[in-house]
Amino acid sequence: MAVTLNKRAYEHARKLIERRGFGEYAKWYLGVDDEVPEGRKSRHRFPYGDFEKVHRCGVLSAEVRAAQNEYYDIEVAAAHLHGLLDARRQAHRNRLLVRKGFARTW
């Protein structure tokens, strides 16, 4: 399997850092590697979005990777986000069912 650079994602991240700094960049990661100096992209671990939206697949990936590597605080945080996303998804589905007349409100 060959891995290639996602140029679009790279450019998006680069522009975000140039415009808003590493503080904004860091907000999209659940983990920080304190052995890597500040101001380095590699310091930030476990991404969960694309700098605009939270992505369920990113949260699930962070949850699994954290568990595999025994970063339990990150695993718990990702699992909490996972639960929030699933609850929001279910609430949206329920609203659609009610709107279409397939479910009743209590």
**Tens digit of pLDDT for each residue in 73-104?**
999 999 999 999 999 888 888 888 888 777 66
Look at residue 94 in the predicted model and tell me its pLDDT: 84
**What is the Cα–Cα distance from 26 to 43, expressed in whole angstroms?**
9
Determine the pLDDT at residue 57. 92
Tell me the range of 41-50, 67-76, 83-92 where mean pLDDT is highest. 67-76
Alpha-carbon 18 to chain mean position = 21
Q: What residues does 54 pair with on adjacent strands? A: 49
Output the six-digit token pair for 7.
């140029």
Show the tokens assigned to 61: 């990936």
Distance CA(43)–CA(87), nearest Å, equals 31
pTM attached to this predicted model: 0.74
Average pLDDT over residues 24-48: 90
54, 61 Cβ separation under 8 angstroms: no
Indicate whether 51 pLDDT > 60: yes
Mean pLDDT of the chain: 86
Which pLDDT belongs to residue 64?
A: 96
Q: Which residues pair with 45 in a beta bridge?
A: 31
